[in-house]
Chain A
Amino acid sequence: MESMETIHENNRMQSRVRKNNIWKSIFFLSTLFGLVVLAVLIIRVVFQGAAWIDMDFITGRQSTSADRAGIMGAILGTLWVMVVVIPVTLIIGVGTAIYLELYAKGGKKGSRFSSMIETNIANLAGVPSIVYGLLGLTVFVRLVDLGNVVLAGGLTLALLVLPILIVSSQEAIRAVPGYLAEASYGMGATKWQTIRRIILPAALPSILTGAILALSRAIGETAPLTVLGIPALLIPFPEGLFDTFTAMPMQIYYWTIDSALVAEYANLAAATIIILLLILFLLNSVAVFIRNKFQQRY
């Protein structure tokens, strides 16, 4: 009877409930903070740039005159770079993840080897992007002598985002339950058949989520491109992997800097940001679409 009384003491109950509510508010405010900042950014950009977007702006060639300036060259440059980045990152990234998770881990030696590689990859993910720019300049632009073309830019950005995709693909593969692979091996399937028919399909949705992250990072990177010597103002459109190009983040960067000279450049930069966000959104919805389609097949 005594213990019953202590449990039901009212003030204790109230203090626990109050604490509960306080923590709930803290978590809610954390979420709100991010949402508000994002909303402010987007609203500001839209107010500044939306009025400047029209067909001439989107399809036009670049120009120093704010009234005549268009961003078709930058859009094409960015898309061409993605043509390099997407397949290179996916093939090498998923391939590396498969090797590390499913082949390298046999025995003590193997697990030490793969944990060493994993540590290095995790470190690479933290290397500043401008360092990748220097790497790209040394290897692709100078050593392989590609020049500052789409292929060199694409490969540099692919290297930059590879660690992101490798780590997320590894996690995706690790999350596939072992009993599924066991069932497959138990029926006489080879390792490759098990990977292709069981492990990869089950891991694909998470791999694509990683791909979206990697892609979003690559499409917005500016620093490595400046180091590669990608021009901000370039009149001809790129038509292939070996053409010089400019990209949307470069365009945004230079227009923002030069807005000290020409005030309208700030509006052009905002307008370009809106288009860049739209393109990013479109590319990501393709990935989401593929992901959902794949999940429905089960």
Chain B
Amino acid sequence: MSNTTKNKVNINVKTNGVNEKISENNAETKQNIIYNTQDLNLWYSETHALKDINLEILENEVTAIIGPSGCGKSTYLKTLNRMVELVPGVSTTGSIAYKGDNILAKSTQVEDLRTKVGMVFQKPNPFPKSIYENVAYGPKVHGIKKKAVLDEIVEKSLRGAAIWDEVKDRLNQNAYGLSGGQQQRICIARCLAIEPDVILMDEPTSALDPISTLKVEDLIKELKKNYTIIIVTHNMQQAARISDKTVFMLNGEVIEFTETDKLFSNPKDKRTEDYITGRFG
């Protein structure tokens, strides 16, 4: 399977367009491709941060991206909702098709893209507002004003993030009063409130204690049923625990991309093996 995946990627690169039909046919029988990255290169001014990335990410799967610090895994994640552009001096070539549309095209409306593709950050970053206002922020930004509708969204999102029971009696208290793990689940609830299809997670548990990490991981397994999740992590055990597929990146390149258990039990590339056995990184 690892070979077929790789081959398919390669074919797509070489005969761009012709094979799209094939992968669409494939998709009907199996899962849909949600992100199709082709020949993606990215520079921070002079620094070549991503090199010829080709990846197909499937719908309703958890895809983990692992690799040592500075390998470009966060950069790639932030390219998927174009948050990377907040850094001045970024330029890209190649394409990323999200459900068939190239999101790197000038015509793409980033606000619309980011409504479909939510993001959870490394450090819990709730707004200095009440728990309710944090979760209602997204819907309000998108023009929902009715209190009853907002109430419903807030409850649904908090339940979805498995934190409703912990906070239902203090929705009007400042989110900063919560523990780090609770704050991160509030941030996940805030992300669910905009009803995205995809959730990007950038090392979401790296600032959390082991118990909070476990809770967030359980939540990710739960969310997988309804969302496509792409998670960057430097914790290999975490990738092994929660993901279906794993991408190993090194120096801005994708070294290996396959089913998680295969990548960890039987890595094809020497560099992957060195990394997962702890020889570097």
Contacts and interface: CB of A to CB of B under 8 A. Distances in A.
Interface in A184-232: 184-190, 193, 197-198, 202
Given A106-B88, A187-B118, A182 B83 contact: yes
A297 B190 CA distance: 19
B86 A188 contact: no
Given A182-B86, A193-B141, A187 B114 contact: yes
A180 B121 CA distance: 11
B95 interface: no
Interface string B155-180: 00000000000000000001000000
A179 B190 CA distance: 14
Interface range on chain B: under 10, 10 to 19, 20 to 34, or 35 or more? 20 to 34
Interface stretch (B52-60, B123-131, B259-267): B123-131
A107 B44 CA distance: 11
Contacts of A177: 125
Contacts of B141: 184, 187-189, 193, 197
A106 B45 CA distance: 13
A188 B194 contact: yes
Contacts of B112: 188
Give the interface centre of B83, B119, B141 by most chain A CB atoms within 10 Å.
B141
Contact of B89 (A107, A184, A186): A107
Contact of B129 (A111, A187, A298): A298
A105 to B, nearest CB: 7
Contacts of B111: 188-190
A190 B113 CA distance: 12
B194 A202 contact: no
B221 interface: no
B142 interface: yes
A185 B83 contact: yes
Given A193-B141, A298-B128, A298-B174, A188 B121 contact: no
Interface string B106-119: 00001111110011
A173 to B, nearest CB: 15
B139 to A, nearest CB: 9
B127 A180 contact: yes
Given A183-B190, A186-B118, A197-B140, 19 more contacts: A106-B88, A107-B88, A179-B121, A180-B127, A180-B128, A182-B83, A183-B121, A185-B83, A186-B119, A187-B191, A187-B194, A188-B110, A188-B114, A188-B142, A189-B137, A193-B141, A197-B141, A298-B129, A298-B174
30 contacts: A106-B88, A107-B88, A108-B89, A110-B88, A177-B125, A180-B127, A182-B125, A183-B126, A183-B127, A183-B187, A184-B127, A184-B141, A186-B83, A186-B114, A186-B121, A187-B114, A187-B115, A187-B119, A187-B137, A187-B141, A188-B110, A188-B115, A188-B138, A190-B111, A193-B141, A197-B140, A197-B141, A198-B127, A297-B129, A298-B130
Interface of A: 105-108, 110-111, 177, 179-180, 182-190, 193, 197-198, 202, 297-298
